[in-house]
């Protein structure tokens, strides 16, 4: 592909990213000191396990919906067969949500944007998943420290999604072809920003992403054993489709 073609791909992915994030970086920046009061934190901590899980599942599904929209706008994604589009989203959407979380992390007070304000890990106590929450916060903190630009974030998240090694793919070669262009787009952007060293650091973070998603699925299995009806009747259908083992 010509460098013009790669430029076009970068531009289109960056536009798709901007169109599919609920908050602009400057909006998140302006909100960064809007933290929950002690009373508000106490109210979250007083929720029952199943209530808090349901609340978070809804919030997570909102963020995932934007990632589904982002995927559909990545050049070449819609040309993949339906099965492969779903397989890539099933295995990659949570990873993209977690990467995007780094844009809404405040490293100065270790808080993340949730439900309209910035929350620390203690707010999620009633989930009974402190290890998962701690790992999600650590990941967001580390990635936030890399200070990715929106363009770098956009192309990196496209690369996280377009992965030919995912399970249950029918046409791997086709996925690899689409991935090739996204890889070139990321190298092009990092070269232009004179930050080639970031590529290695970003690839180093991918295994942590996988372990985070595996931990999330493990916790969901644990929760579903305790509260089958909550998952069955109160969890968003998309959440169950993407993260439920059925």
Q: Binding to ligand 4CX (CB under 6 A): which residues in 143-172? A: none
3-state secondary structure (DSSP) of residue 162: coil
Tokens of 157: 């998240």
- What is the Cα gyration radius of the chain? 18
For position 139 contacting ligand 4CX by CB under 6 A, the verdict is: no
Applying CB under 6 A, among 9, 63, 89, 158 the residue interacting with ligand 4CX is 63
Longest Cα pair distance anywhere in the chain, in angstroms? 57
Applying CB under 6 A, among 6, 87, 89, 127 the residue interacting with ligand 4CX is 127
Nearer to ligand 4CX, 153 or 175 (CB): 153
Q: Binding to ligand 4CX (CB under 6 A): which residues in 1-60? A: 21-23, 53, 56-57, 59-60
Tokens of 170: 């029918």
Tokens of 172: 């791997």
Nearer to ligand 4CX, 26 or 246 (CB): 26
For position 129 contacting ligand 4CX by CB under 6 A, the verdict is: yes
Applying CB under 6 A, among 9, 41, 91, 103 the residue interacting with ligand 4CX is 103
Nearer to ligand 4CX, 88 or 119 (CB): 119
Least distance from C-beta 114 to ligand 4CX, angstroms? 4
Least distance from C-beta 177 to ligand 4CX, angstroms? 28
Let me know: does 15 contact 200? Beta carbons within 8 Å.
no
Distance CA 114, CA 23 (A): 12
Nearer to ligand 4CX, 57 or 185 (CB): 57
E-only strand ranges, 147-213: none
3-state secondary structure (DSSP) of residue 173: helix
Distance CA 38, CA 106 (A): 18
For position 221 contacting ligand 4CX by CB under 6 A, the verdict is: no
Applying CB under 6 A, among 87, 112, 153, 209 the residue interacting with ligand 4CX is 112
Least distance from C-beta 103 to ligand 4CX, angstroms? 5
Element housing 224 (H / E): helix 197-226
Kindly state the DSSP code that residue 35 receives in the 8-state scheme: B
For position 219 contacting ligand 4CX by CB under 6 A, the verdict is: yes
* Cβ density class 65-89: b for 16+ within 10 Å, e for less: bbbeebbebbbbbeebeeebbebbb
CB atoms within 10 A of CB 140: 23
Applying CB under 6 A, among 80, 85, 100, 230 the residue interacting with ligand 4CX is 100
Q: Which residues bind ligand 4CX (CB under 6 A)?
A: 21-23, 53, 56-57, 59-60, 62-63, 66, 100-101, 103-104, 112-114, 124, 127, 129, 132, 136, 216, 219
């Amino acid at each position: 592909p010509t460098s013009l073609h790669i430029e076009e791909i970068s531009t289109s992915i960056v536009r798709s990213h901007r169109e599919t994030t609920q908050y602009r970086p400057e909006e998140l920046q302006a909100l960064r000191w809007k933290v929950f009061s002690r009373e508000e934190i106490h109210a979250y901590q007083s929720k029952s396990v199943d209530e808090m899980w349901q609340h978070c599942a809804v919030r997570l599904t909102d963020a995932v919906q934007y990632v589904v929209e982002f995927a559909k706008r990545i050049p070449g994604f819609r040309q993949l067969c339906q099965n492969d589009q779903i397989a890539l989203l099933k295995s990659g959407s949570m990873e993209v949500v977690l990467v995007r979380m780094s844009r809404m992390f405040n490293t100065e007070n270790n808080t993340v944007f949730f439900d309209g304000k910035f929350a620390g890990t203690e707010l999620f106590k009633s989930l009974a998943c402190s290890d998962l929450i701690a790992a999600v916060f650590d990941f967001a903190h580390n990635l936030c420290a890399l200070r990715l630009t929106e363009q770098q974030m956009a192309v990196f998240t496209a690369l996280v999604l377009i992965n030919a090694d995912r399970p249950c793919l029918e046409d791997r070669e086709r996925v690899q072809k689409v991935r090739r262009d996204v890889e070139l787009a990321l190298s092009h952007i990092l070269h232009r920003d004179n930050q080639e060293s970031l590529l290695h650091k970003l690839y180093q973070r991918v295994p942590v992403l996988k372990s985070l998603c595996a931990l999330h699925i493990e916790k969901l299995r644990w929760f579903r054993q305790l509260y089958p009806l909550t998952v069955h009747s109160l969890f968003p259908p998309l959440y169950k489709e993407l993260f439920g083992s059925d």
